[in-house]
Amino acid sequence: MQSVPVIAIDGPSGSGKGTICKLLAKNLGYYLLDSGALYRLVAVAADHHGVSVENERALADIAAHLDVQFLADKVVLEGEDVTLAIRTETAGMNASKVASLTLVRKALEERQRAFAEAPGLVADGRDMGTVIFPQAQVKVFLTASAEERADRRYKQLKSKGLDASLPDILADIQQRDERDMKRAVAPLKPAADALEIDCTHMTIEEVEQQVMALITKRGLH
Ligand code: DC
């Protein structure tokens, strides 16, 4: 399907995928697809247009016509800077809801595949290795315990001076995991040929080393 090299990194919220993907894309000079941002954008656009997160047809229409620009330092939706708006816990929870709808996922498929351009792509998501890029040369499933992921998220929010409650964050993560893993369409699960890394007790550098070793083994670097 694609001859462009694709590195698919999947896993649950807060596993550190985003950080690893940014590092890899920078090191390799590859493009980066943050697929979660697309679902977050659909959720935020739906809110702007007063569309319920259960209205599958209207949401799929929004997804198919998403007017978005990914600029160097901001994300612009329908002319509005939504860089921060798509990162809130509410946007994440609503993204998880709209992402469980078949028509919404279908509407975003080709847009995601179009990110695979030379010299290569690092794709961050839940179904990169299973559905969107099944031919990816490198597939990684990055996970960590829910407690560790909640703790990382809590520290991240606190360091930004934002108000946060650890028990609330943990409950949100568990709820989101449950929905993402149990949905009928493209559930969060490792591809059969993915390298699974549990990074609960690992540093970012250690994870990066493991993934880079696999990339080298596959002849991409
Ligand atoms: O990675 P994230 O937290 O930004 O993703 C937000 C939500 O979007 C997540 O709860 C599940 C959904 N998602 C998905 O279903 N498939 C993807 N490829 C990426 C994200």
Q: Which of 126, 176, 185 to mutate to test the pocket of ligand 1 (most atoms within 8 A of CB)?
A: 126
**What distances in angstroms separate CA 192 from CA 134, 141, 189, 195, 216, one per listed residue?**
10, 10, 9, 9, 20
Domain count, the chain: 1
pLDDT (average), residues 170-187 = 93
pLDDT of residue 160: 84
Is residue 59 included in any domain, yes or no?
yes
Question: Is the Cα torsion angle 47, 49, 55, 59 positive or negative in sign?
Answer: negative
pLDDT above 90: residue 89:
no
pLDDT of residue 72: 87
pLDDT above 60: residue 1:
no
pLDDT above 70: residue 4:
yes
199-212 pLDDT per residue, tens: 999 999 999 999 99
The sheet with strand 80-81 has its strands ordered as 68-70, 75-77, 80-81
163-176 pLDDT per residue, tens: 889 999 999 999 99
Is residue 119 included in any domain, yes or no?
yes
CATH number at residue 123: 3.40.50.300
The parent domain of residue 48 ranges over 6-216
Is residue 86 included in any domain, yes or no?
yes
pLDDT of residue 7: 98
**What distances in angstroms separate CA 203 from CA 153, 191, 199, one per listed residue?**
15, 24, 7
Mean pLDDT of the chain: 95
pLDDT of residue 221: 82
Predicted TM-score (pTM) of the model is 0.94
Is residue 1 included in any domain, yes or no?
no
Ligand 1 geometric centre to CA of 40 (Å) = 8
Is residue 221 included in any domain, yes or no?
no
Looking from the CA of residue 179, the nearest atom of ligand 1 is 10
Ligand 1 geometric centre to CA of 111 (Å) = 15
- Beta-strand relationship, 138-143 and 68-70: unpaired
Is residue 144 included in any domain, yes or no?
yes
27-71 pLDDT per residue, tens: 999 999 999 999 999 999 999 999 999 999 999 999 999 999 999
Model confidence at 152, pLDDT cuts 50, 70, 90, reads very high
Model confidence at 189, pLDDT cuts 50, 70, 90, reads very high
pLDDT (average), residues 108-135 = 97
Residue 56, token pair as written in the block: 């599958």
125 lines ligand 1 (CB under 6 A): yes
40 lines ligand 1 (CB under 6 A): yes
pLDDT of residue 203: 95
Q: Which of 33, 96, 188 to mutate to test the pocket of ligand 1 (most atoms within 8 A of CB)?
A: 96
